[in-house]
Amino acid sequence: MADPTNESTTLEVKNPVLERMRADQAALGLLVRLGRSGEIARIAKASGHDFLFMDVQHAIFDVETIAHIASTAVAIGVAPLVRVRGVHDPDVSLLLDNGVTGIVFPDVNTAADARKAVDTCRFAPLGKRSVGASFPQFEGRTVPVAEATRIINASTVVVCMIETVEGLANLDEIAA
């Protein structure tokens, strides 16, 4: 852990999913539908998984449970990803503000849907996400807002799932 009094320390938030993607490697994930504690993150780490995939679209999770799991996952080097209920899910920012490092959006059918997904997950100038008071990824350290938002933008995964004929027809526009 970096020395919080050493201002010259370079801060970063590691996301094993992005690290694997950048190395042209597959990332291994564990689907979580029943786990309700941070221990599921420890199990994922011990069994070689890079990320947890918490499915809020098809399973019942409360935000506090997700935050506890995400906190443990980030601390041990496992990326916590959450599939939300759609691009208009009101909890996306709250999940990200509490340690989730990736959001999976189902049923993305248009370029406007994809833009909404990105806008919700990214801080300006890349999106429209609002800035909260602190970020759990920095473990209580004070980080200037401009630096924090840059680091969080660079370490957050945004996934758009194409699941319909309409989405397939709009694939090029969605990917643009």
Give the residue numbers marked as catalytic.
Answer: 58
> What is 103-146 written as a DSSP string?
EEE----SHHHHHHHHHHHS-TTT--PPP-S--GGGTT----HH
The Cα–Cα gap between 8 and 2 comes to 10
Cis peptide, bond prior to residue 4, ω within 30 of zero:
no
Q: Which of 36, 68, 73 lies closest to 52, judged by CA? A: 73
Residue 116: what residue type?
Answer: K
Angle of CA points 110, 30, 129, to nearest 5°: 45
